[in-house]
Amino acid sequence: MQVGVDEFGAALLGNIGHIELPKPGRWIRQGQKVWSFTRNGEKTEMVSPVEGEIVEVNPEVVKHPSLLRQDPYGQGWLMTVYVPDEQSVERNFLPVHLAKAWVRDCAERLFAKPPQLAGPVMADGGRPIDDFLAKLPGANWRELTEEFFLR
């Protein structure tokens, strides 16, 4: 199973300078802090959505972290994980009706921040801002990512 960051998470991370991924062969648990991102000397972590053994990490995204933002569903993938019991992992996923409510809540909380974020990006069906932090002067990147990432 390929694991990565969705477009919202990639936009929230913005212009990161470094991605730290675990080594292949490591067993990871669902909900465990597994990888981290660094931006301007600050670090934020994300938890794994699955449990299993890391088979491969994407060396290109480690060398070129901008791939995460440019192509999160393609070249920006982070790692491949062998998941021996996909059904047990899926039981712990957020049900679709709760996931939709969670996404709606995230969007409402994000757009309740300073109005520079609202602009024409979401209302017209356009793409999210490439780097949310650039539109929030004085915002703390680590605190912002921790607020929105399931941790």
Distance between CA atoms of 48 and 22, rounded to whole angstroms? 11
What's the pLDDT tens digit per position in 31-44? 899 999 999 899 99
CA 124 vs. chain centroid, Å, equals 24
Q: Which CATH code is given to the segment(s) 1-151?
A: 2.40.50.100
pTM: 0.76
Domain boundaries, the chain: 1-151
Contact yes or no for 57/16 (Cβ under 8 A): no
Residues 6+ apart with CB under 8 A from 23: 54, 57
What's the pLDDT tens digit per position in 76-134? 999 999 998 777 666 667 677 777 787 778 777 776 766 555 454 444 455 556 676 76
CA 46 vs. chain centroid, Å, equals 7
